[in-house]
Amino acid sequence: MRITVRRGDITVQDTDAIVNAANSALAGGGGVDGAIHAAAGPELAAACRELRRTVLPRGLAVGQAVATTAGRLPARWVIHTVGPNRHAGQTDPALLASCFTSSLDVAAGLGARSIAFPAVSAGVYGWDVEEVARIALDAVRGWRGAPGHALQEQEDGGIAEVRFVLFGAAQEAAFRRAAGG
């Protein structure tokens, strides 16, 4: 599995899936969440409402992930994950790591070969970007696939590329440091 880091706009990535730093209501919001919903168009909001109506009436739990179609985005799927909010006392690094591993599990279940992540919980949720970068890279490097999903990239069609797409220079630099380059 190749891991890359770049600065850019996650909504224009040509990966099979992009990850949305969502709120538990899957209702769209600010930051990455708002940008993804705006770029995807009303199809994404409709898919999220349907999930809430049928499968997630109480919302998506912190650290968990769920997929929808991607609306007008170039990606095939949007994988929504709810990061822990440090301001609300959610300070367990395992919850943050779970955002990344749960998203990879969902992507593998969909058959995605590539996935793009933002800096989940950095910014408005109060986590330091250096800590997010370290936890994210460790989680991705340690991921071994969901039960029943092989990590073999060529023969079994596993995830071949994980791309971290960061909005600003400071986030990009933190992720590059965590990636070792």
Which tokens is 65 given? 């992930």
Q: Is 9 considered catalytic here? A: no
Give the CATH number, domain containing residue 60. Answer: 3.40.220.10
Please tell me which residue in 16, 33, 138, 156 is annotated as part of the active site: 33
- Domain of 55? 2-179
Average pLDDT per consecutive 10 residues, the chain (181 residues; last block may be shorter): 97 98 94 96 97 97 98 98 97 98 98 98 95 98 70 60 96 97 68
Predicted confidence at residue 50, as pLDDT, reads: 97
The total domain count for the chain is 1
Instruction: DSSP letter for 127, please.
Output: B
Against a cut of 0.85, is the pTM above it?
A: yes
* Residues 154-171: tens digit of each pLDDT: 345 699 999 999 999 999
Predicted confidence at residue 155, as pLDDT, reads: 42
Tokens 């919903």 belong to residue: 37
* Residues 25-34: tens digit of each pLDDT: 999 998 999 9
Question: What is the Cβ-side half-sphere exposure of residue 10, based on CA atoms within 13 angstroms?
Answer: 34
The span from the CA of 83 to the CA of 9, in Å, is 19
